[in-house]
Structure 1
Amino acid sequence: MGPTASGKSSVALEIARHFPVEIVSVDSAQVYRHMNIGTAKPDAKTMAAVPHHLINLIEPHERYSAARFLGDALATMREITQRGNIPLLVGGTMLYFRALTKGLSELPSADADIRMAIETRAEANGWPALHKELWRLDPASAARIQPTDSQRIQRALEVCYLTDMPMSEILKKPRHVCLPYRVTGITLIPAERDVLHQRIAHRFDEMLKMGLIDEVRAIRDKFCLEDESPSMRCVGYRQVWMYLNGEVGLAKMYEMALAATRQLAKRQLTWLRPMKEVKEFDCLAETLSEQVRKYLLETGLHAR
């Protein structure tokens, strides 16, 4: 695990050189087909050299959830172990990691009629108005959801209407976990945040050179998407989408994308730092791969 641009993929490939692993992506953006550049998705050569899973599962207009990830991941991990290999989970979507290791709360399934009613009211009054209603029904959820985050406002209100309970209260209930594996957790944490920010800027520069804007334009032309489509809310894609819509200029798009990516890294680090059951490594260390390999040997993992 680690924040964006911490070098997770490179370390994972190095691990695969020494241990019998198959990589399971824990990335909510890499599940989308056609979104290759902005998600830093491994190329065809890399995926041919080392088996990768849970990549390119759905189209950009479709939705993916933590619950679906949980089912997909457990099924994939079972298949990997049946082949005599070890599942190596790699990514930065901390909600997915938590679903796998801590379980999911028993929230009700989506209700199309209630969602339509909420959307109709939002069209008439705006999402900030519905956010005010959420403050009345579920203050704890409203406090962590932005007034413009339509997807999360809608889900929180939907749960309130279906259960007559605040979603925040349901999330407090004990979760049932059945993970039949011994977990060895590794986090990549930068000793210097400024250096990570430099990496983020360099990587976004490379993405633009590789054709990120054209990638988003092609997706925009091919699929029926909206501003709030989950795929276009991914960091980088959202800002390029706004640029293509004429909402911001090129320089502003670049500035906003870097700021959003740095914020993403900050949120990921906030998730990671309290974790006590994982081994932390400095992702900026020159000998990072060697340190990780040595640690895995010490944990009893057998090399090839």
Structure 2
Amino acid sequence: MEPEESYSVARFQKDAYREIEAIHQQGKIPLLVGGTMMYFNALMHGLAELPDADPQIRADLDGEMLQHGLHALHKQLAAIDPYAAARIHPNDAQRIQRAIEVWRITGQSLTALQAKAQAQMPTYRFVQFGIAPADRKILHERIAKRFHQMLEQGFVDEVEELRSRPFLDKSMPSMRCVGYRQIWDYLEGIDTYDEMRHKGIVATRQLAKRQLTWLRSMSELHWIQLETSIEKALEIIQPLVFD
């Protein structure tokens, strides 16, 4: 892929299923490694085909919220989709409106559409592991070390080359990734080198924190501390994978 291209969750799901099936056909076990939890969630639980936003319905919902309040919209959602209402915080206006909008457009609840997507998924068994150090200080030290290494290995030169492409700008998804946007600002003279380096490390730490929060919400995930020996880790992994 070129950085000018967009890569959606739906496209990832399709590509990943194709590769998973190809690996299975070889009699091997696919190993998926990464940190984009939303993409993993789509693989494991399906991705509902939801309608595009409807400007008129959005305007109607905005008017209803102004007139009756967000609590009334959440109560309305509870009547048409109690499971979604239980998942969505009563103060999350965007998600409440989207769930109601989906129901008004399709006549089906968001929960029903998501369940339908899950029912159509290939029947793979996912065994989930999370690896993290016991002390968050170690994680922060590793993040800083890794970012310094990336800079030493030519990260700035890479972004400088990307900036020269005529159809690429910093508003594109690829350039909004952690590290790229900080270096882009540095090359534009917005930040000094030290400011860029600091912001890149801080942004990476914030990303890691969000990833850990998502991982902790995954009830079937098995944690392995980074300090665990290979032998001990295998004792944990093998019975779960080969059961």
Q: TM-score range by the shorter chain?
A: 0.7 to 0.9
Say whether the 8 Å CA contact 1:100–1:179 is kept in structure 2.
no
2:114 counterpart residue number: 174
Say whether the 8 Å CA contact 2:3–2:174 is kept in structure 1.
yes
1:140 counterpart residue number: 92
2:8 counterpart residue number: 65
Report the Cα offset of residue 75 of structure 1: 0.9
> Aligned to 1:174, what secondary structure does the other structure show?
helix
Report the Cα offset of residue 294 of structure 1: 2.3
Counterparts of residues 216-231 of structure 1 (less than 5 Å): 216-231=159-174
> Aligned to 2:131, what secondary structure does the other structure show?
strand
Report the Cα offset of residue 256 of structure 1: 0.7
Aligned counterpart in structure 2 of residue 292 of structure 1, from 228, 233, 237: 233
1:104 counterpart residue number: 47
Report the Cα offset of residue 90 of structure 1: 0.5
**Structure number with higher helix proportion:** 2
Q: What is the TM-score normalised by the length of structure 2?
A: 0.74
Q: Residue type of the partner of 1:105? A: A
Q: Using the alignment, how far apart are the partners of 1:226 and 1:171 within structure 2? A: 37
Count of matched residue pairs: 208
Report the Cα offset of residue 160 of structure 1: 9.2
- Unpaired runs of 5+ in structure 1? 1-57, 115-131, 144-155
Report the Cα offset of residue 281 of structure 1: 0.6
> Aligned to 2:223, what secondary structure does the other structure show?
strand
Q: Residue type of the partner of 1:72? A: D
Q: Using the alignment, how far apart are the partners of 2:10 and 2:241 within structure 1? A: 31
Instruction: Considering Cα pairs closer than 8 Å and 6+ residues apart, tell me whether 1 or 2 has the greater RCO.
Output: 1
Q: Using the alignment, how far apart are the partners of 1:171 and 1:213 within structure 2? A: 44
1:210 counterpart residue number: 153
Say whether the 8 Å CA contact 2:50–2:102 is kept in structure 1.
no
Q: Residue type of the partner of 2:242? A: L
Q: What is the TM-score normalised by the length of structure 1?
A: 0.60
Q: Residue type of the partner of 2:92? A: A
> Aligned to 1:255, what secondary structure does the other structure show?
helix
Task: Flag the structure with larger Rg.
Answer: 2
Identity of aligned residues (%): 42
Q: For residues 200-236 of structure 1, what are the alpha-carbon distances to aligned partners after superposition, in whole Å with 9 as ceiling and x for unaligned?
A: 0000010010010001111111352222100001101
Say whether the 8 Å CA contact 2:127–2:241 is kept in structure 1.
no
Report the Cα offset of residue 181 of structure 1: 1.8
1:232 counterpart residue number: 175
Q: Using the alignment, how far apart are the partners of 2:26 and 2:187 within structure 1? A: 46
Over aligned residues, Cα RMSD in angstroms? 3.2
